[in-house]
Amino acid sequence: MLKQKIHRINNFIGGGLVKKFVIWIVFIIMLLGILTTIFVQVSLTKTLSEELRERGQVISRNLAASILESILIEDTVYVHRLVENTKKTEKDVNYIYITDAGGKVLAHTFEGGFPGELLTVQINLENSPHLLDTGDGIIIDFTAPILDGRAGFVHIGMDETSMHKKIDQTSRAIITLTLFVGALGVLMAYIAGNYLTRPIRSLVKGTEEIGRGNLGYQIKTDSTDEINILSKAFNEMSYNLNNSINELRESEERYKKLVDSISDAIILVDSQKKILSWNSGAEKIFGYCLEEVAGSKINILFYTAIEDDNLEIQGGENVFKRKDGSNFPGLISNKPLQDRRNAGNVLVIKDITKQKDLENLEARLIQSEKLFMLGKLAAGVAHEINNPLTAISLHTQVMLKKTWDEKTDRRLQIINKETDRAARIVKRLLEFAHQSEPKISSVDINREIDNLLNVLEPQLNGTKITTDLTHLPFIMADREQIQQVIMNILTNSIQSITKDGKISIKTVVKHGYIEIDVKDNGCGISQDNIGRIFDPFFTTKMPGEGTGLGLSICYGIIKKHNGSIDVKSEVGIGTTFTIKLPI
């Protein structure tokens, strides 16, 4: 409690240590002066009061003994003279009067006549001093019996005025001395405070210098007391702090160089998925400088924004977005990071565009090599099969011209039908094996799409086709082959739809290419089969409904036009084919 009160007083005083030191010294001196004055007043009052009472009693008794004989012989003149002389010679005596045993006043020192009220007071107060208020001050009345009261009484009134004057004089002297000592104490306290706080001010300056970044600042002191020990400890702390900070800066610089030397993007995010910092690799990959993205959500770097702030960022392959709006594939790894301030994550993003391009190129080379080998095989097989098929077809045609029974005629028709189907397959094999070079001419893709939609209208069976055809430049391509590709994809889409069919066709210009997107809501392609749909003879249709060569032929045509064809599909949702042809 006392400590808290002192703390409040210090806060109220305010200022520096010297001010507080001086005020506290003055306060202590004044408090001691007041206590001394009170103590002296009490002690002096008690001493002087006792002395005054003893003197009163002695004077009254001596006077009673001196006038005994004169009272007995009734010598009132001597009594008067003795009373007057006693009043004059004894200090502090205010009055003296003598009464006989019956209370009659025999002599007194009152100039204006004896006050009668004194006779009524002394009756019950014999032989003991008592206080009387005369209006001008307090009088101590002493009563001494003459001959045990049979000859009368001596009454003496002692005045306390002089006693109080002494006490007042002594108090003023003490107060004056206290003020003088206080003034001297202020001066000495100020000098001592400045002297004692000088090392402390040096310490304060040292802490301010360190606060401003002047690490390693040293304090100079010539004292040999505890302040010197504190100053040495401060200097050692400052030295060690400077060395530690320098080592930390060097370590941070090495770490920064190490992180910046990594070509992958290293990004530090907080618990709210806000970007705190990243390396130069991230700046090169995404095109932003750190100041542009610091404090922003990591969502801005994803091609498909992550709306849920609490969603954990999963590691693995994802698509990211650069500052210029372009996107790229990347591998992301996510590691939690916990420090004293907050919890966050370290994200490492690797641009795998080149790897993807190499994979695609490798896949295309494999596909091309596969098509080449299969083409040679298909050409040989087609030629070998075509001759017997021709013979079977001719003999069947001859036999059909003759009259047979109904059962034989039906079987011959089946043989002829299947022979025609086999012939068509051989024809497709030959087309696949001997794909002719494109006959290049100027082609308007949007017009070709409109023409194909008119041709396919009878086959739609309620399927709704919508188009979003933006203005396209003409391209140099083989019109018939491009028609064949688009026709094949649209036919596949129509055949994949079961009910409430919808097909959308969209064209757009991107990065020097014309893109044709054909999207349907058909049955879709499983992930196990989607990588094989461009392989020759691969089909998901029922036996007898397709040869599996349509998409292979489309793939070969687009490759000869220096373009690309890609597919994305999800079972039960639909399929999207994307064709890119150079302008």
pLDDT reading at 403 higher than 50? yes
Domain 357-433 falls in which CATH fold? Helix Hairpins (1.10.287)
The pLDDT value recorded for residue 34 is 80
Per-residue confidence (pLDDT) for residue 455, from 0 to 100: 78
Better-predicted residue by pLDDT, 409 or 369: 409
Q: Which residue has the higher pLDDT, 160 or 513?
A: 513
Kindly report the average pLDDT of the chain as a whole number: 75
Helix spans in 321-352 (H): none
* Predicted local distance difference test score (pLDDT) of residue 366: 67
Given this model, what pLDDT does residue 92 score?
Answer: 78
- Please tell me the predicted confidence (pLDDT) of residue 245: 76
The answer, yes or no, to whether residue 123 has pLDDT greater than 50, is no
Whether 15-214 shares its CATH topology with 441-582 is answered no
Report the amino acid identity of residue 316: G
Q: Per-residue confidence at 489, pLDDT binned at 50, 70, 90?
A: confident
Indicate the SS3 state at residue 214. Answer: coil
Phi, psi of 327 (to 5 degrees): -120, 160
How far lies 259's CA from each of 251, 271, 340, 433, 517, in Å?
12, 22, 22, 54, 41
* Tokens of residue 425, six digits: 């397959």
Structure-token match 């610091």, residue found: 294
CATH architecture entry for 262-351:
2-Layer Sandwich (3.30)
What dotted CATH number matches 15-214?
3.30.450.20
Q: What are phi and psi of 450, to 5 degrees?
A: -60, -40
Q: Residues of the chain with pLDDT > 70: what percent?
A: 71
Does 86 score more than 80 pLDDT?
yes
Domain ranges of the chain: 15-214, 262-351, 357-433, 441-582
What is the average per-residue pLDDT within 296-317?
A: 71
Please give the pLDDT value at position 124: 44
Report how far residue 489's alpha carbon sits from residue 239's, in angstroms, rounded to the nearest whole number.
Answer: 77
Tell me the two tokens of residue 551. 């998409």
| H-run or E-run covering 31 | helix 17-66
Query: In what helix (H) or strand (E) does residue 165 lie, and over which residues does it extend?
Result: helix 161-211
Q: How do residues 349-361 score in pLDDT, each as one tens digit?
A: 888 877 777 776 6
**Domain spanning 441-582: which CATH class is it, in words?**
alpha beta
The pLDDT of 277-305, averaged and rounded, is 80
| 3-state SS class at 382 | helix
Q: Is the pLDDT of residue 218 over 60?
A: yes
d(CA 173, CA 167): 10
Q: What's the average model confidence in pLDDT over 158-174?
A: 78
| For range 504-520, the mean pLDDT | 89
pLDDT at 69: 81
Among 78-82, 99-103, 253-257, which is the least confidently predicted range? 253-257
**What DSSP line would sit under 253-312, residue for residue?**
HHHHHHHHT-SSEEEEEETTSBEEEE-HHHHHHH---HHHHTTSBGGGGBSS----TTPP
For residue 550, what are the contacts with CB-CB under 8 A and spacing of at least 6? 488, 491, 492
> How would you label 277-293 residue by residue, b for 16+ Cβ within 10 Å and e otherwise?
ebbbbbbebbebeeeeb
Angle at 387 between CA 383 and CA 390, to 5 degrees: 130
Asked whether the predicted pLDDT for residue 369 surpasses 70, the reply is no
The 10s digit of each residue's pLDDT in 45-74 is: 788 777 777 888 888 888 888 888 877 777
| pLDDT at position 246 over 70 | yes
